[in-house]
Each structure stands twice: as C-alpha cells, then as structure tokens.
Structure 1
Amino acid sequence: MSGSDSQLVEIYTAPFSPMALLLIYTRRNRSSRLSTVVTHFILLGISNTDSLQTILFITFLAFYLCTLLGNLLILLAILVDPRLHTPMYFFLCNLSMLDISFSSISTPKFLANLWAKSRTISLGGCMSQVFFWNFLGSTECLLYTVMAYDRYVAICHPLRYLLIMNRRVCALLAAGTWITSSFHTTILTSLTFTLPYCGSNVVDYFFCDIFPVVKLACADTYIIETVTFTNTGMVPMICFLLILASYIRIIYSVLKMNSAEGRRKAASTCASHLAVTTVFFGPCALVYTQPQLSKVQVTPVQIFSKVVTPMLNPAIYTLRNKEMKAALRKLRGGQMPAR
C-alpha cells in the first residue's frame, strides 16, 4: 500500500468530521473535476405555474417589499429610541437583519427570472445561494435560542438581568451565532461544490439548495446527502431542545409567582418570541420528520418559511408590544424620543 493510499485509509477510519469528508471528496473527485463543464444552472421554478407567472411576480414582490419595509421600520425605531436599547431589542435588531437578508437571497433572482422569462443562474450565483441560504437559516435558528435564554434570564433572574445580559455578553452571543453558522455552512458548501458537475444543469427547484444541486453531480453523493441531512436536521433539533428547556424553567418560575399581574407581564414578554419560534420551527419539523415529502409538498413549506415568515416577524413583534408601537408612532410623527 502506497503512502497516499495509507493516508486515505486513515481518513476513512478517522472520526466522522467535516474536514475528513472534505479531504475524501477532494481525493475521490480530483480526476473527474477536470471534466466539469457546468458554468451555469437552470432553475425550473415552482411546478405547474407557467400560466401564473404574472400573479407570482406580483405576490412575491408584495411579500418582499413588505418584508423590507417592516424590518427596516423595526431597525429604525430601535436605533432612534433609547428606551429600546436593551438586550431583547438588540437581538430583535439581529433578527430583522436576518429576515431582510433571508428574503433577499432568492426572491430578487426569482422575480428577475419571472420578469425576464429567463431561468438561468451562474455557478457563482448558485454557490452564493447555497451558502447564504444555509448560513442565514442556521444563524436564525441559533438566534432564537439566544433570545430564549434572554427571556429566561429576564423572568427567572430579573434583579440580575442587566448584570448577566450586559453589552459584552450580548455582543458575544450575537457574534457567536453568526460565526458558528458561517463555519458550519462553509463546510457544507465546500463539500457540495467539490463534487464535479459535468452533466445536467437543470435544478428542479426555484432556488439553489444543497439537495437539488447535488443530485446533478457526476459522482457518488450518498455521503454529502447524509451529512447535510444530519447536520441541517441536528441544528434545529438541538436549538429546539434548548428553547424548550428555557421555557420549562420559565413556566416553572411563572407558576411560582404570587402576583397575577406579574404572571401576565411574564406571559406577554414571551408571547412574541414563542410565536416567531413556532412559525420558524413548524416548517422545519415538517420537512425533517417527513423526508418522504415530494417536491410539490415541500415547496409551499419552504416558501412559507423563507418568504412569508420574514414578513410576519415584524407584525408579530409589534402587535402585542406597547413599547415598539409607541416608538413606531413617534417615528411616524417625526418626533424623536426624549433621552
């Protein structure tokens, strides 16, 4: 056995790490990568909607504009109102930036394709969609977990809340969600595009995601599909369990409160976060607990999760939030809040 073969055996027998997988794919596909001829992909879009392109264009454009307007208003209201410079609203700013970014990954390209009746996307554009789709999805999942921890500290340790959730801690928690997700997604995207693409370039979906793209590879995709499904399923599962643990502790603390007013305020504080978390994790649970779902069934779920949900989040956080509604009213009236 040669030295290189021995090294490859060591990689196969090493712990199942992303770096080992990347090395496996690099070695396995080194020769076939030279035959890669795909320079662009064709997005088939949403099935059975060829006669509805005008309606789809108007609908998606309306969703996109509402998402931008709603989240930009929340960002502006929080930035100009000093009373909203608290940990909860700091994380809400991060969520609004994520929602704006999320809706901007595929919607503008989808709208451009509908308008120009062209379905092509460059290889670089497809790689960008794969990376940012998974990066922002993972970041949002982790951010909901951080926000649940923030609510836990606020309700279970109210006297030490500002001490525990100080600016440094909030900044580290927020930065941690973005950095962790970028590392996680870089590995998955590298594994996906290390594969050779030398045959069909037709993506049977309305945007580039890992699973529709790897099906076009001219190589064995079992490992990458297994690792991707496991990773993209484990991240929401772990986050959901951590959020559940936080709320079990919150419920326990609320039930111990003697004041009905205290219980009402605690419930109101958590209502918005619970609502957006349910809207986010509901589609995830449906997709990953029902892997046999067809493309026709998965597409509406993905559209709701990644197009409709970013539009709903601003409404959810303002409908029951008196402070946010007051800040928006003052912003609309051109009045700057007193410092």
Structure 2
Amino acid sequence: MQTIADGAERERLLAILDFWHKIEFFIPYDLSSRIVSGEGRTVFWLHAKTLEDDGAALSRPAIPEEKQITGFTLFLGIFNKSEIADIRRHFDSVTADIAEYDDAERGDLDGDTCFASLQLSPLGEPMFETFSVSTLPWALGRVRKSGLSSLSHEAFADSKRQLSELLQNFRAQRHLRSSSSEDMVDQPIDANEILTLHELLCDWAGFASKHEKPIAAVEIRYRDRVEKPELISLPPPPDSNAIDADDEDESASVEDDIGILNSFFIEDIERAMIRVTHGDIPAPLRQYLTPLAREKRIDLYSEDGRRAIVRALHPGKLNRGRWLSEPHHAMSLIQQFAINSAIDDL
C-alpha cells in the first residue's frame, strides 16, 4: 500500500515538474517594457525594406551636440508574444485544469519580444561577448518540427553551440572584410550585417514571425558631454602588456559563451525530475510542489494579508548592508516579503 502511495506521489510531482519544464522554454523576454525612450536614451526601429534600400548605410536619430553616446543595444528578430498561442494545442492534455487562468494569462501575451540582443560600443562596433539569445523562438521552431517531447536542456545546449559557431564565422567574415584597415579595429555594424544576423537567427531557430514586424530595434544611450581633463602620462606597470596564455584561453572561452536573454531554469528542473524519478525527493521540493491547505493560505490583498506584509517587512528585519550592485536591481516588495517569510520559517 505504501509503494502505491509513493508511486502516486512521484507521478504527481513529475507531472507538475514536466509541465513547468515545458512552459519554461516559452517565457518571453518583455521587449516592449524594455525599450521605452526616456531620459538618456532613445529607441528607433529597423525594417527589412529600409535596410535593404539603405545598403551598407545605417541611419539613426540625431543626438544633440551637447550629448555624447555611451553605447547601443541591438535587439534582433522582433515578433509579437501572441505567436506563443500557436503551440497551445500541444498542451491540450492540461488545458482543462487551467482553463480558469486562461484569460488572465492571455493578457501576458501582449507586446513584443525578440530573438537576441547584442551590445554595441559608442562607435557602433558589435561586442560579441555580450550576445544573449532567448529560448522562445528556438522552442517555437523545435515544437513545430518535433513536438514538446523534443525540448530539453541538452537539446538547447547543442543548438546554442551551433549558434556560437555561426557567430564565430560571422565575426571572422567581418575581420576578413576589414583586413585592409591598418589598425584592424572592428568596424561599426552596418545594415547588411543586421540583415545577415537576422536571417542567421531565423534559420538557426527554425522559426520566423508570420506577421510583418521590424527585424530589429536599437536603443541609443547617451549623457551630457564631458570635457576631457588633461591627462598625465605615467609609465606602465611591469609586464602590463603581457598576456598570460591561460588568461587568453579563459578570455576566449568567455566570449564563446552565449547568454540567456529570458528566465531560464530548465537545467534545475531537469535535475529535480531525475531525483523525483529515483525516489529521492528532498523535503523542500516536496513542500514547494504541494499546495497548502486552504485554511493555511493568506490572501495578500486581504486585511490579514496586509498585516502579514507589514510584519514581514518590519524595519527591524532589514539587512544592514547589501552587495555593491545597481540600485535599480533591488528586490521588489513582494520578493523581499517572500525572502523574509522564508527566513522566518527556517
């Protein structure tokens, strides 16, 4: 009897983890909220027809003379998040259980997302070590071709290695074209190269938007121009120009690694699934995947919930310091509430 109960518990936990595992691939990067013109930055859109007509030229909005550009972010492969709805039929087996959430979740599919992002220097030179890609377009192409069961961390890692090779080839071609330059400095990215990168990404993912959208967006960041003070020349420290061979190899490996643009917990979920399959279920995992009894739940929008928030966020529970990170990366109120509550429980 105990074996049957344990087997049913494993099946319940695996069903939750498997659904979460598949959904994770389809979490879109929220481009619409990311590229909003404001103080110190402006955004412009690039359409395929415009880029084709302009050839190698790449026009951009004029920046006031009193401002200086500090960098660019190029967002490649724009498409609407609503295209995720096309894979809903693959989740038919579970839609009956989540029908009540359908309308609320559908609202999250408004706005645009993208394939990838790439930082550019103030001169417009691509910084390939900053290249990040979203799992979403890859997952859309993969499911249409091979179904949901083909989604895995290993499959995505293999595809990411293929993309890394494609980008290395693209970068090598750029260097060949600029080989006549004496200083061998990378040239600013041009319209033809953006078109090439967009086509490369669509072929790699096996997915292209069925709606007519810009193929890229560019965020320009700028600040007030600062007069450069007169610099005093100092002798370089000993061996400052020497590059250790091990450091060089490490630098190359960092550049070859492609970042993930959106939320990504696939590997962790797969690790949890393996442990559950083997019957090794950590208590925190079991607790996290088991709904609380209704009488133990707190609606944070209720009066009791507000009192719980006030208790959890009491000034006496604030940390006395923090890591030296950007202030806008601070936790939200609910994130801090969750952490403080977990610390209290532990």
TM-score normalized by the length of structure 2: 0.22
Structure (1 or 2) with the greater helix fraction? 1
Rg (Cα) greater in structure: 2
TM-score norm. by structure 1 comes to 0.23
